[in-house]
Amino acid sequence: MEKQFITHFESIESYNHLNEIEKTLFDKALKIREIAYAPYSDFTVGCAILLENGEIITGSNQENAAYPSGLCAERTTIFYTGANFPGVKIKKLFVIGAPRKATSSTPIPPCGACRQSILEYEAKQEETIEIYFASVAGEIFKTKSIRDLLPFSFDSSFL
Ligand code: THU
């Protein structure tokens, strides 16, 4: 018997369609992206996380001459958040990535390892995290949960 997963996401046409807090997250992700450390790929990524207390944590990708030792923006940011605010829930995660000089592109979704890491925090806090991924030009895709980006996810319930 064939079965299907249905994934839901919202396509937000442009920056102007975001509400105030979403605009702030977009601005902060775009800004922190400017100082991403990505000398090897020249693909720069910025991430902004909104906490339930209103605080916003930002981060960027951090590369390494030993390539696999580098880390994506989403994990840099969510691990910092987990380390420093372990009891504070994450409401939203906003990510913008593109080649450094790109002016327009399609929204770049989080990589598989980042999805798995985000899932861990969503499961830990027993509350979904809204994920936004945007192009530098301002088109944005939004999901209500990381599970929309990670069907057949592996979590601690299997251990
Ligand atoms: N990268 C991210 O920061 N997030 C992703 O979800 C995809 C990829 C980074 C890793 C590396 O520094 C560069 O983008 C090219 O892969």
- In the chain, the domains with their CATH numbers are 10-147 (3.40.140.10)
Residue of 106, 111, 114, 136 best suited for mutating to test ligand 1, as the one with most atoms within 8 Å of CB: 111
Tell me, what's the pLDDT at 34? 97
The owner of tokens 């770049």 is 108
Taking the CA of residue 61 as reference, the ligand 1 atom at the shortest distance is 3
> Is 78 touching ligand 1 by the criterion CB < 6 Å?
no
d(CA 23, CA 84): 24
Tell me, what's the pLDDT at 128? 98
User: How many residues belong to the chain?
Assistant: 159
Tell me, what's the pLDDT at 105? 74
Tell me, what's the pLDDT at 46? 98
Longest CA pairwise span in the chain (Å): 50
Give the pLDDT of the chain (159 residues) as one tens digit per residue: 999 999 999 999 999 999 999 999 999 999 999 999 999 999 999 999 999 999 999 999 999 999 999 999 999 999 999 999 999 999 999 999 999 998 877 899 999 999 999 999 999 999 999 999 999 998 999 999 999 999 999 999 999
What does pTM read for this prediction?
A: 0.96
Any idea what the Cα angle at residue 17 is, between residues 13 and 22, rounded to 5°?
A: 110
Active-site position among 13, 52, 63, 74:
74
Name the residue at shortest CA distance from atom 1 of ligand 1: 72
> Is 25 touching ligand 1 by the criterion CB < 6 Å?
no
